[in-house]
Amino acid sequence: MKGFEKFSIWVLINLLLWSSSCARGSSVVNPCCYYPCQNSGVCVRFETDIYQCDCTHTGFYGQNCTDPEFWMRLHLMLKPSPSVVHFILTHFQWFWDLVNSSFLRDTFMRLVLTVRSDLIPSPPTYNTRYGYLSWESYYNISYYTRLLPPIPEDCPLPMGTKGKHDLPDPRLLAERFFKRKKFRPDPQGTNLMFAFMAQHFTHQFFKTIHEVQGGFTKALGHGVDASHIYGDNLERQLQLRLRKNGKLNYQLLNGETYPPTVSEVPVHMLYPEDFPEELRLVTGHELFGLLPGLTMYATIWLREHNRVCDILRAEHPTWDDEQLFQTSRLIIIGEIINIIIEEYVQHLSGYLLKLKFDPTLLFTERFQYSNRIALEFCHLYHWHPLMPDSFLIDGDEIPYSQFLYNTSILMHYGVEKLVDSFSRQPAGQIGGGQNSHEKVVKVVEMVIKESRATRVQPFNEYRKKFNLTPYNSFYEFTDDFQMAKGLEELYGDIDALELYPGIMLEKSRPDSIFGESMVEMGAPFSLKGLLGNPLCSPEYWKPSTFGGDTGFNIIKTSSLKKLVCLNTRWCPYVDFHVPRNEDKAEKSYTDL
């Protein structure tokens, strides 16, 4: 009888263990769920509860890759922290004036490019399906790549082993921590000209397939290919082309060039069903009819492409339509990269070092001319707090209800007045939270849901990946006490905070558009993607690629001001920064 009682107890215990195991998926925790491997070490699981950290090429050794080798120890002793480097680059004007006017500019620029780019692995590593190196991750470009592998599926908690059993409701997060209470302008002076450039520029390589979970992209190119101007496939490109003198199709309104309508060029565009046919303008990207700011940039680049075609045709009368088009496209791609580095990134960084687009700086360095867009880069680039409460154009205030899907605004005011107005109106501060307009706050929910579906690792793990010190508490993470308290209640542990809320809600640097993490994570992705373009390689970067010195110089001397003023009847105020001095701004932009 005693034996039967013991057997019954043994059966009961095992049944309880089995049911508990079924409820959690496994009674043994995957050791990689603890993220034990530091300093880019790779966690490899053996059996059920044994792991090893592969520390190869990290400069560290030990069970968890925490012990620095001699040269790494020396490097760490001498290397300043990211915050110190940022402080130096944004202070000491007299020193940077000296650097910018001497050979030292090239030296510092090369250092910026190599240090930033080295943080991004090339060739690509992971994707959502494969948390380990595989040929599929490298070869299948329909996936975004991943900087860190996804959270293992068998972890006991959503973010690994820390935090709560259930993540906060995305709508609650969006409403409580992202939705705007009062418009907060960016203290760096960012304007709407920058905001619309950010949207227009990035839509050529951020093309997530939202209908299919798993980090898929429909972009055929993973970088700056100007597909937002020319279409993302050959069929669309051929429809957008005039098929004469290399030019893109267009319509003339009051003697000015604008994109054609869908009735003239029948390509797929996203417009409301009842939208007037004559206002359905056609652009390289199907979504650019949504905002007049995007249609404005599409118009400017259309005009610039056709202007470049005229210049090339005058120099090369024997060239056919195809060669004129293809060479003009290469020049346009070069112009885009130049403007983005020397003006767009320059503005974002706040650096006193004058950034320079010169691919030859890397010709003697170990550098790979290829790029894959990372899922993390796509997520952190949702900068919708830039959008204002309403739009001020030529003295008129236009609310969202009249701004969305209204291409008539472009034709009514003209490119010049839109550029001038957008360059003068402040954009919102991105970092710090509670600054997203209610019309765009749903994007927050979308990104958070997508992040969870693709099992993106916690914010602090990315801090470590980019050589930043992980936060110890929510009160260190943000200087807003109520926000810190609320996040702590919802997440339970700072190590369970998700990447996108972490990037967007982090306290901003003093007088800056966003926090430390956005700069230190975004800049490497951006610079590697820009300089990794084949156009920047020794094989491409030479005059013959662009039809000779004239085409080459169009790229080298390009600027936002030239892009606008060479394609408009009069030259408006154009910059990524609101006017610092109104009178001075008006005088300085009267002539090219």
Q: For residues 525 and 476, what is the distance between their CA atoms, to the nearest angstrom?
A: 26
Q: Which of 531, 421, 549, 575 is nearest to 116 (CA)?
A: 531
Residue 203 catalytic?
Answer: yes
The DSSP symbol for 267 reads -
Coil/strand/helix, residue 279: helix
Coil/strand/helix, residue 45: strand
Q: For residues 123 and 359, what is the distance between their CA atoms, to the nearest angstrom?
A: 20
Amino acid at 66: T
Q: What residue has token string 């796509």?
A: 378
Extract long-range pairs of 355-358: CB within 8 Å, 24+ residues apart. 355/109, 355/112, 356/105, 356/106, 356/109, 358/106, 358/109
245 within 8 A of 309, measured Cβ to Cβ: yes
Residue 347 catalytic?
Answer: no
Q: For residues 144 and 127, what is the distance between their CA atoms, to the nearest angstrom?
A: 6
Dig out the tokens for 85 from the structure. 């480097």
Coil/strand/helix, residue 583: helix
Q: For residues 571 and 565, what is the distance between their CA atoms, to the nearest angstrom?
A: 5
Q: For residues 497 and 512, what is the distance between their CA atoms, to the nearest angstrom?
A: 23
Tell me phi and psi for residue 348, to 5 degrees: -60, -45
Q: For residues 308 and 325, what is the distance between their CA atoms, to the nearest angstrom?
A: 9
Q: For residues 223 and 526, what is the distance between their CA atoms, to the nearest angstrom?
A: 10
Dig out the tokens for 227 from the structure. 């597909």
Q: What is the dihedral of CA 575, 533, 213, 24, to 10 degrees?
A: -110
In order of 249, 384, 462, 503, 523, the CA distances from 380 in angstroms are: 35, 11, 12, 7, 11
Q: What residue has token string 């910059």?
A: 575
Dig out the tokens for 161 from the structure. 């082993």
Coil/strand/helix, residue 33: helix
Catalytic choice (200, 203, 384, 437): 203
Q: For residues 330 and 327, what is the distance between their CA atoms, to the nearest angstrom?
A: 5
In order of 195, 361, 411, 517, the CA distances from 575 in angstroms are: 11, 27, 22, 26
Catalytic choice (144, 381, 471, 500): 381
Largest CA distance in the chain: 105
* ∠ CA 211-212-217, rounded to 5°: 95
Q: For residues 210 and 342, what is the distance between their CA atoms, to the nearest angstrom?
A: 33
229 within 8 A of 305, measured Cβ to Cβ: yes
Q: For residues 305 and 582, what is the distance between their CA atoms, to the nearest angstrom?
A: 32
Q: For residues 32 and 190, what is the distance between their CA atoms, to the nearest angstrom?
A: 42
- Show Cβ contacts of residue 559 under 8 Å, excluding neighbours closer than 6 positions: 338, 339, 342, 343
Catalytic residues: 203, 381
